[in-house]
């Protein structure tokens, strides 16, 4: 025999009721069906009674809505006229009774607990009659006569012994009749007075569990509106998925910590008898669901699931006099227990100088009062500090019996949170080691859940959320490359890259669910908001998304100035923008240190040599104990292109124009011609090589007269052809000597220079096509034969690919 419990969501509409009918009718063996009120009805009843108590006539509208809802459901769910008429009369009778009670509340304007329970219980009284009518041959049983409670303080607690006895009596002859039994959930009665009581919100699950335990059922089935118990609340974590099986203990921990799918007391009766619980979806009965039982096979993940409780308070008692005093804890918990305040997280320092207790927000004030009373003497003498209450918090629990076998889970968990800029306010780990719970600021709740879900592979994919700033050639190509690679990365790497923000200089679009990369241009046109750098920063930090990376494909100093704030909020930065890395050394150092301190990454491989692995190589060499002694490089793809293109047919001014048009140069090519761009790159490389260098320290030999840099850009273009003849004469001379021009950046022992040099045929820089870059690294290990890195050093595609590679290396941490 099995118990099937259908929740409010499963009995809310005529369509869902027909599902219930199909599920129950398909059973070969007799079932006991426990039903909740129609979806949303308990809330409506509570609202109506409170309105009436407040003297608000709107309670009558609420009651009319309730009547209409039950009538509509009844009219379409029961086709047989005679049955329908009888049912409608029965429902009307109950609804009239409800109206009379509410009119009474309205008149007296008081709502004693007894009446509140009575009103709340109408939902199940009504729904159980409807369900009985739609199931052929079903018989309704009155839960009030066998689910018995007793008052303890403010709470009605089930008298299990009496309840089991009464259930067994009520169902003694049932099985022989083979009729489906329908039982209203949630409602009960006081063992002494017989007054109607309720089992707490979500209590229909509990009714079903009591029946299962009393009657030694083979299984308890909870039919709801999700495919099973999931790794996290599916309304918060989109990537949560169904857990096939879990132990009672795991389910208990998750439910006690807010997983609404089962009402926590439900687990005890069935657990004591070893009766398995099966969670199923009324709307997808084919899905296998979740089995909860005594022992399950260890799964692949160290954490089984996560759950949370929003809006809690933390009460802290501290003071040196607490050290070693026996009985402080017992006084705290007795005081709280007297007021029936439950503490769901307790965190005590080993030195015993303080204890923090997590309670629900609603209990916080009472908790403070009772503790102040309990410790009045100690507080007055100063031995204990005044009690602190901190509100606006949330508690998160990570649960799984596998945690016992895996070392370092707590370490990984808190590192991951820290890296995402989430600070943990208090924490506790159960002695059973199957639960780690901690408290964070409420505003960090969603992010905390996402971060844990993601990093413990509870999610099918690891997610990386990108904010892309700058949609010029590099930014545009990057979007195209990500769009192209996205599917493959999901399949082969389990990595999901979402672009959650795209910004250009004046406007931006944000979407926490990920912007559709096929149509990002339209989205930006139609849905963008105006921004400036300050607003951009506020929006990104305000979105507070986990695993996020700011990708800077601009050349803007104002954007580079935002990195520090991003690091402070756990956001990594990948920059094609060279401004920050080549800025004043103190700023560079500050940003480097800050990123390290916050556990985030600041990557800028494309600042030098586009996609060539130069900075990474330097870092790898240094990390493995090598020392960079000397660097010689051709780092300007633009200048290399110019000097390679220069010929008898193409004069100097034309090569500059071509470089500009083909996208090899900076928008104002003088940044390349003056060597400024190469100086920046050399400074960045030298710093990464371990030297403290500023741009002013680089000795620069200009090859174009100074006045070309002091005029407007327009004048510059006008004047440029005047240099052609001189360049051509020198070019011809070099050609006859078998030499070529290269603009070389050099560093030796921290001394840096850039200059136009002529190199002979044997030099490794002689053959260097198009816009290629080359670098020779002389280190302690690569000494007689320096290391050489060479390849495309400019171009939107290779630069975007380099940015993409940096992004991927963040996904690997
Ligand atoms: P019913 O009306 O069937 O009793 P509930 O609303 O009480 O249903 O519980 C089911 C809901 O619990 C789901 O719709 C889901 O939104 C929520 N929920 C929260 N945490 C979880 C979880 N870990 N797994 C599944 N559902 C969850
Ligand atoms: N109808 C009750 C509630 O909404 C009991 C239940 O649904 O389990 O809390
Ligand atoms: Mg429920």
What pLDDT sits at residue 381?
Answer: 84
Which pLDDT score is estimated for 539? Answer: 95
DSSP per residue, 102-165: HHHHHHHT---HHHHHHHHTHHHHHHHHHHHHHSTT-EE--GGGT-EEEEETTEEEE-HHHHHH
From the number of C-beta atoms within 10 Å of its C-beta (0-12, 13-18, 19+), residue 380 rates as exposed
> Does residue 232's CB lie within 6 angstroms of at least one atom of ligand 2?
no
Tell how strand 435-441 and strand 426-429 pair up.
Answer: antiparallel
Structure tokens at 97: 């009774």
| pLDDT of res. 591 | 98
8-state DSSP, 506: S
State whether the beta carbon of 42 lies less than 6 angstroms from ligand 2: yes
> How many A from CA of 260 to the centre of ligand 3?
6
pLDDT in tens, 438-480: 999 999 999 999 888 887 766 667 889 999 999 998 999 999 9
pLDDT of residue 580: 98
Q: Is 260 in the pocket of ligand 2 (CB under 6 A)?
A: no
**699 DSSP β-pair partners:** 753
Average pLDDT, the chain: 92
Tens digits of residue pLDDT in 557-585: 999 999 999 999 999 999 999 999 999 99
pLDDT score of 350: 59
203 lines ligand 2 (CB under 6 A): yes
Percentage of the chain modeled with pLDDT above 90: 74
Name the token pair of 230. 């999931």
Residue identified by tokens 């609804």 is 95
| Cα–Cα distance, 781 to 306 (Å, whole number) | 50
Reported as a single tens digit per residue, the pLDDT across 245-258 is: 999 999 999 998 88
DSSP string, 204-256: HHHHHHHHHHHTT-SEEEEEESSSS-BSS-TTT-TT--B-SEEEHHHHHHHHH
pLDDT at 603: 97
In angstroms, the CA 251 to CA 476 distance is 47
Summarised one tens digit per residue, pLDDT across range 333-385 is: 888 888 888 888 888 765 567 889 999 999 999 999 999 998 898 888 888 88
Letter string b/e over residues 30-67, b meaning 16 or more CB atoms within 10 A of that residue's CB: ebbbbbbbbbebbebbbebbbbbbeeeeebbebbeebb
Name the residue of 226, 250, 290, 291 to mutate for ligand 1: max ligand atoms within 8 A of Cβ: 226
Predicted local distance difference test score (pLDDT) of residue 391 = 95
Q: Determine if ligand 2 sits within 6 Å of the CB of residue 202.
A: yes
Residues 6+ positions from 738 with CB-CB distance below 8 Å: 760, 761
pLDDT tens, residue by residue, 680-738: 999 999 999 999 999 999 999 889 999 999 999 999 999 999 999 999 999 999 999 99
Q: Which ligand is nearest to the CA of 184?
A: 2
CA of residue 597 to ligand 2 center, whole Å: 48
Query: How are the residues of the chain apportioned to helix, strand and coil, as percentages rounded to the nearest 5?
Result: 45, 20, 30
How far is ligand 1, taken at its centre, from the CA of residue 19, in Å?
18
Q: What is the pLDDT of residues 483-494, one digit of tens each?
A: 999 999 988 888
Predicted pLDDT at 813: 45
Ligand 2 lined by 204 (C-beta under 6 Å) = yes
Which of 45, 201, 211 most suits a substitution to test ligand 2, by most atoms within 8 Å of the C-beta? 201
What's the CA-to-centroid distance between 361 and ligand 2, angstroms? 22
681 is catalytic: yes
pLDDT of 326: 65
Statement: residue 176 has pLDDT above 80: no
User: Rounded to the nearest whole angstrom, what is the distance from the C-alpha of residue 116 to the centroid of ligand 2?
Assistant: 14
Matching residue, tokens 């979407």? 511
Q: Which of 537, 578, 681, 706 is catalytic?
A: 681
Ligand 1 atom, smallest distance to 8 CA: 2
| Interval between CA 8 and ligand 2 midpoint (Å) | 7
- Whether residue 175 is predicted with pLDDT greater than 80 in this model: the reply is no
* Closest ligand, as measured to the CA of 38: 2
Inter-residue contact 37 to 91 (CB < 8 Å): no
Kindly list the distances between the CA atom of residue 335 and the CA atoms of 325, 339, 364, 445, 462, in Å, as whole numbers in the listed order: 17, 7, 13, 30, 45
- For the chain, the residue count is 813
Spacing of C-alpha 613 from chain mean position? 32
Residue minimizing CA distance to atom 8 of ligand 2? 202
Q: Which ligand is nearest to the CA of 36?
A: 2
Distance 51 CA to ligand 2 centre (A): 20
Structure tokens at 379: 């507080």
What's the pLDDT score for residue 793? 83
pLDDT of amino acid 177: 65
pLDDT at residue number 319 = 82
Residue 206: pLDDT band by 50, 70, 90 thresholds?
Answer: very high
792 pLDDT above the threshold of 90: no
Distance in angstroms (rounded) separating the CA atoms of residues 208 and 203: 9
The pLDDT of residue 407 is above 80: no
Q: What is the DSSP letter of 385?
A: P
The candidate with the shortest Cα–Cα distance to 614, out of 592, 595, 637, is 637
What is the edge-to-edge ordering of all strands in the sheet holding 462-469?
A: 529-530, 507-510, 495-503, 462-469, 548-552, 572-575, 602-603
Coil/strand/helix, residue 745: strand
**According to the model, what pLDDT value does residue 342 have?**
84
Q: Which residue's C-alpha comes closest to atom 5 of ligand 2?
A: 202
User: For residues 6 and 12, is the Cβ–Cβ distance under 8 A?
Assistant: no
Candidate from 151-155, 312-316, 395-399, 721-725 with smallest mean pLDDT: 151-155
Q: Which of 123, 127, 183 for a ligand 2 pocket mutation test, highest count of atoms within 8 Å of Cβ?
A: 123
Q: Which atom of ligand 2 is nearest to the CA of 206?
A: 8
Among the bound ligands, name the one nearest to the CA of residue 199. 2
- State the pLDDT at residue 812: 61
Distance 17 CA to ligand 1 centre (A): 19
Dist. CA 17–CA 317, nearest whole Å: 52
The 8-class DSSP code of residue 799 comes to H
Give the pLDDT mean for 36-48. Answer: 97
* Pair 257, 39: CB distance under 8 Å: no
Confidence of residue 637 (pLDDT cuts 50, 70, 90): confident
Ligand 2 pocket: which of 7, 42, 126, 185 to mutate (most atoms within 8 A of CB): 42
Which of 22-31, 64-73, 394-403, 766-775 has the highest average model confidence (pLDDT)? 64-73
Quote the ligand 3 centre to 261 CA distance (angstroms). 6
| pLDDT band per the 50, 70, 90 thresholds, residue 122 | very high
Mean pLDDT throughout 650-659?
A: 95
Q: Is 201 in the pocket of ligand 2 (CB under 6 A)?
A: yes
Ligand showing the shortest atom-to-Cα distance for residue 308? 1
Tell me what pLDDT residue 301 has: 77
User: Ligand 1: residues whose CB is within 6 Å?
Assistant: 7-10, 36, 202, 224-226, 229-230, 232-235, 259-261, 305
**Residue nearest (by alpha carbon) to ligand 2 atom 6:** 202
Query: Structure tokens of 454?
Result: 């993601």
Neighbouring CB atoms inside 10 A of 509's CB total: 20
Two tokens at 289? 């669901």
């Amino acid at each position: 025999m099995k118990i099937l419990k259908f929740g409010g969501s499963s009995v809310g509409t005529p369509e869902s009721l027909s599902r219930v009918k199909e599920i129950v009718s398909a059973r070969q063996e007799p079932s006991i069906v426990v039903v909740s009120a129609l979806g949303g009805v308990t809330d409506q009843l509570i609202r109506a009674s409170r309105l009436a108590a407040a003297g608000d006539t709107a309670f009558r509208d609420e009651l009319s809505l309730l009547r209409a809802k039950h009538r509509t459901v009844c009219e379409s769910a029961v086709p047989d006229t005679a049955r329908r008429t009888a049912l409608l009369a029965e429902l009307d009778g109950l609804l009239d009774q409800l109206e009379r009670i509410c009119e009474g509340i309205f008149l007296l304007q008081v709502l004693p607990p007894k009446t509140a329970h009575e009103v709340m219980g109408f939902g199940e009284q009504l729904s159980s009659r409807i369900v009985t009518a739609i199931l052929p041959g079903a018989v309704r049983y009155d839960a009030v006569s066998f689910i018995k409670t007793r008052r303890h303080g403010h709470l009605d607690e089930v008298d299990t012994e009496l309840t089991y006895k009464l259930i067994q009596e009520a169902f003694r002859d049932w099985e022989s009749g083979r009729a489906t039994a329908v039982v209203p959930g949630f409602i009960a009665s006081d063992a002494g007075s017989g007054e109607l009581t309720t089992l707490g919100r979500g209590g229909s699950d509990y009714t079903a569990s009591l029946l299962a335990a009393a009657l030694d059922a083979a299984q308890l089935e909870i039919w709801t509106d999700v495919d099973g118990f999931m790794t996290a609340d599916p309304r918060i974590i989109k990537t949560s998925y169904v857990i096939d099986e879990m132990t009672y203990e795991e389910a208990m921990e998750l439910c006690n910590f807010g997983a609404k799918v089962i009402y926590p007391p439900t687990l005890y009766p069935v657990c004591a008898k070893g009766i398995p619980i099966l969670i199923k979806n009324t709307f997808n009965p084919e899905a296998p669901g979740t089995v909860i039982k005594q022992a399950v096979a260890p799964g692949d993940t160290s954490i089984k699931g996560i759950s949370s409780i929003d809006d809690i308070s933390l009460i802290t008692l501290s003071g040196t006099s607490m050290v070693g005093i026996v009985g402080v804890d017992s006084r705290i918990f007795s005081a709280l227990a007297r007021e029936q305040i439950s503490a769901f997280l307790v965190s005590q320092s080993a030195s015993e100088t303080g204890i923090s207790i997590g309670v629900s927000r609603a209990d916080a004030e009472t908790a403070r009062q009772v503790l102040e009373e309990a410790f009045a003497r100690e507080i007055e003498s100063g031995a204990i500090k005044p009690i602190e209450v901190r509100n606006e918090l949330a508690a998160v629990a990570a649960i799984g019996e596998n945690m016992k076998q895996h070392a370092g889970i707590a370490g990984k968990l808190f590192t991951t949170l820290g890296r995402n800029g989430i600070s943990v306010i208090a924490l506790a780990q159960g002695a059973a080691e199957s639960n780690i719970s901690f408290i964070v600021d409420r505003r960090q709740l969603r992010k905390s859940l996402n971060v844990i879900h993601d990093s413990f592979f509870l999610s099918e994919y690891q997610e990386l959320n990108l904010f892309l700033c700058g949609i010029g050639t590099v930014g545009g190509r990057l979007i195209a490359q990500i769009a192209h690679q996205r599917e493959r990365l999901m399949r082969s790497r389990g990595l999901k890259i979402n672009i959650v923000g795209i910004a250009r200089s004046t406007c931006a679009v944000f979407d926490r669910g990920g912007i559709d990369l096929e149509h990002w241009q339209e989205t930006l046109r139609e849905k963008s908001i105006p921004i400036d750098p300050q607003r951009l920063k506020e929006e990104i930090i305000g979105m507070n998304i986990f695993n996020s990376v700011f990708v800077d494909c601009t050349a803007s100093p104002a954007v580079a100035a935002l990195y520090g704030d991003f690091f402070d909020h756990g956001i990594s930065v990948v920059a094609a923008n060279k401004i920050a890395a080549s800025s004043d050394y103190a700023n560079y150092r500050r940003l480097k240190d800050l990123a390290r301190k916050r556990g985030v990454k600041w990557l800028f491989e494309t600042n030098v040599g586009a996609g060539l692995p130069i900075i990474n190589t330097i870092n790898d060499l240094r990390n493995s104990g090598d020392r960079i002694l000397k660097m010689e490089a051709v780092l300007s793809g633009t200048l290399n292109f110019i000097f390679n293109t220069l010929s008898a047919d193409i004069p100097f001014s034309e090569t500059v124009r071509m470089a500009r048009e083909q996208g090899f140069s900076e928008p104002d090519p003088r940044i390349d011609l003056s060597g400024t761009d190469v100086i920046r790159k050399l400074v960045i490389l030298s710093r990464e090589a371990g030297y403290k260098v500023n741009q002013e320290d680089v000795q620069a030999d200009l090859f174009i007269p100074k006045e070309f840099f002091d005029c407007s850009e327009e004048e510059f273009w006008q004047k440029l052809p005047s240099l052609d003849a001189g360049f051509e004469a020198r070019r011809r001379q070099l050609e006859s000597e078998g030499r070529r021009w290269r603009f070389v950046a050099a560093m030796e022992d921290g001394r840096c220079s850039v200059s136009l040099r002529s190199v002979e045929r044997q030099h490794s820089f002689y053959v260097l096509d198009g816009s290629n870059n080359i670098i020779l690294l002389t280190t302690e290990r690569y000494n007689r034969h320096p290391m050489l890195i060479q390849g495309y050093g400019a171009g939107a595609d290779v630069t975007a690919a380099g940015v993409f590679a940096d992004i991927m290396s963040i996904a690997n941490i």
